[in-house]
Amino acid sequence: MLSFLTIQGRPVFVEEKDFRRYVIVSLLSIFALIVHLFLICVFWLIGAIELSVINVGSVLIWSAGLYINIKGKHDLAILLLCFEVMIHAVLATSYLGLGAGFQHYLWAIAALAVLNTRLNTLFAGLFSFLFIMIFACLYLIFSEVQYSYRFAQWLEWVHFANILVAGLPFIIALVAIRFITVVQEARLSELASVDSLTGLYNRRFATDAANKILKRAARLNEPVSIVIGDIDFFKEVNDRAGHEVGDAVLKRTGLFLREQFREEDVVARWGGEEFLIVLPGMTGDTAFRKIESVREQFVDKFEEDNPLDLITMSFGVTECQPGSVFKDSLRVADHAMYASKEKGRNCTTLSPPARV
């Protein structure tokens, strides 16, 4: 995914992921620059010249970070900004003591360092640990430092504000990790259950679903029918029109079959040009009539789009006996489908249920 952006008046396209880093790091830098410029004035006014000077240093580093980020070196910019926060936290604590709460920013950058996926995991972990280690050391080294500037009555509010501001990146980092995890879990489960060519369920998912449907049907004493459908002379389609056309036929068959059945029915690509359909609540006779109508519509659909090449399907149907095992009923449906092939194809065969 590309986004449009102008750098020095020239239009450039950047990758969506980089564009996000560009915007986030730039906004963060601008926000930090404003805060530090404000702090320079505040410290100057209260006579804390050395603190004012520290903030001048920060302004220079954040400006450099912003510049490097605009130039496209986002990782270097993030690294530089993490080090600025670290140095700032140490110096501020050494002058103002732990009561001002600047040490809490180390937790924020520890979380951000782990989020930087371009750092290898070991490095990211080590960086993060380094920041937490410094945080712990600040408590050992500067526990005696007392705040000695004007407006001491505001100190606890400065601490309060620092905890809140430092907590924000921490929350953002956790939300980002959660978001990425949820999206990836959904993607993985889709990959594990869906056939990438047709978008139908794959064999593994369909087997699990069929077993569950059969168990439920046995409990409720309801019928279930199993159907195997196979495209006729598919090898010829591939040989004459090419593999790509063959793929397109499979895709359209998948779409067509999905449209023909209810949501609770399982329609899956069983392999190659073979499809499995599980019809809960349907007796063998009803399933047979339904499949015959689907088969006729299938021929019409492909005839409309491609009148020269007749594409047809052969089906095998069976009803599962309560308490029967999926693989036994599947075998019966498969034999029924082969019986349809032997009868000359483009037809449906209903077989009696497998014995329990």
CB 349 within 8 A of CB 316: yes
State which residue, 113 or 291, has the beta carbon closest to ligand GTP.
Answer: 291
Q: Give the largest Cα separation in the chain, rounded.
A: 100
State which residue, 212 or 341, has the beta carbon closest to ligand GTP.
Answer: 341
The structure tokens 């705040």 sit at 147
In the complex, the smallest distance separating the C-beta of residue 246 from ligand GTP, rounded to whole angstroms, is 3
State which residue, 272 or 352, has the beta carbon closest to ligand GTP.
Answer: 272
State which residue, 26 or 238, has the beta carbon closest to ligand GTP.
Answer: 238
State which residue, 187 or 235, has the beta carbon closest to ligand GTP.
Answer: 235
Q: CA torsion, points 97, 101, 102, 103, in degrees to nearest 10?
A: 90
Cα separation, 46 vs 6, in Å, equals 42
Cα separation, 278 vs 264, in Å, equals 9
In the complex, the smallest distance separating the C-beta of residue 83 from ligand GTP, rounded to whole angstroms, is 53
Binding residues (CB under 6 A) for ligand GTP: these are 197, 230-236, 238, 243, 246-247, 250, 272-273, 341, 345
Residue 321 carries which DSSP code? Answer: P
In the complex, the smallest distance separating the C-beta of residue 274 from ligand GTP, rounded to whole angstroms, is 8
According to DSSP, the β-strands at 274-280 and 224-231 are antiparallel
State which residue, 119 or 250, has the beta carbon closest to ligand GTP.
Answer: 250
Residue 352 carries which DSSP code? Answer: P
Cα separation, 350 vs 338, in Å, equals 11
In the complex, the smallest distance separating the C-beta of residue 235 from ligand GTP, rounded to whole angstroms, is 3
Residue nearest to ligand GTP (CB): 246
In the complex, the smallest distance separating the C-beta of residue 257 from ligand GTP, rounded to whole angstroms, is 15
In the complex, the smallest distance separating the C-beta of residue 313 from ligand GTP, rounded to whole angstroms, is 9
Alpha-carbon distance values, 102 to 91, 139, 173, 202, 258 (Å):
9, 12, 19, 54, 59
Nearest Cα to 88, choosing from 128, 57, 46? 57
